[in-house]
Structure 1
Amino acid sequence: MATIFHIAFPDQWEAAVEAGCYRWSTRGKSLDDGATFIHASRPEQVAMVANFAYDDVDVPLCLLVIDTTRLVSALCDEDLDGTGMSFPHIYGPLNLDAVVDVRPYHRGPDGLWPEVSEQAVS
Structure 2
Amino acid sequence: METIYCLVPKSYWEQWVGKDHYLPRDYEQEGFIHATKGEDLLTKVADRVYAHYTEALYVLLVEEGKISSPVKYEQAKDGLLYPHVYGPLQQSAIYDVREMKRVEGHWVMGESVRS
Q: TM-score range by the shorter chain?
A: 0.7 to 0.9
Identity of paired residues, percent?
A: 30
In structure 2, which of residues 75, 82, 91 is the aligned counterpart of residue 79 of structure 1? 75
Q: TM-score, normalised by structure 2?
A: 0.85
Name the CA distance, whole Å, in 2 between partners of 1:16 and 1:74: 21
**Alignment-mate amino acid for residue 89 of structure 2:** L
More displaced stretch, 50-59 vs 12-21: 12-21
1:11 Cα deviation from its structure 2 partner: 2.1
Distance in structure 1 (CA, Å) of the matches to 2:76 and 2:31: 12
* Partner amino acid, structure 2, of 1:53: V
How well do the aligned residues superpose, as a CA RMSD in angstroms? 1.5
Q: Any conservation in 2 of the 1:8–1:64 contact (CA below 8 Å)?
A: yes
- Which residue of structure 1 lines up, in the alignment, with residue 107 of structure 2? 113
| Partner residue, 1:13 | 13
Comparing both structures, which one devotes a greater share of its residues to helix?
A: 1
Q: Is the 8 A contact 1:60 1:107 kept in 2?
A: no
Query: Unaligned 5+ residue runs, structure 2?
Result: 110-115
Instruction: Call closer, same or farther: CA 1:34–1:84 in 2, change over 3 Å.
Output: closer
SS in 2 for 1:92: coil
SS at match of 1:103: strand
Q: Distance in 2 between matches of 1:42 and 1:48?
A: 11
Task: Please say if residues 19 and 91 of structure 2, whose CA atoms lie closer than 8 Å, have aligned partners that are also in contact.
Answer: no
Query: In the aligned structure 2, how far is the partner of 1:34 from the partner of 1:85?
Result: 22
In structure 2, the partner of 1:119 is none
CA contact (8 A) 1:21 1:94 kept: yes
Which structure 1 segments of 5+ residues have no match? 117-122
Matches for 1:54-73 after TM superposition, within 5 Å: 54-73=50-69
- Structure with greater proportional strand content: 2
How far did 1:111 drift? 1.7
How many pairs does the alignment contain?
108
**So what's the TM-score if we normalise by structure 1?**
0.81
Stretches of 4+ aligned residues off by more than 6 angstroms: none
1:120 equivalent in structure 2: none
Aligned with 1:77: secondary structure? Answer: strand
Report deviation, 1:22: 0.9
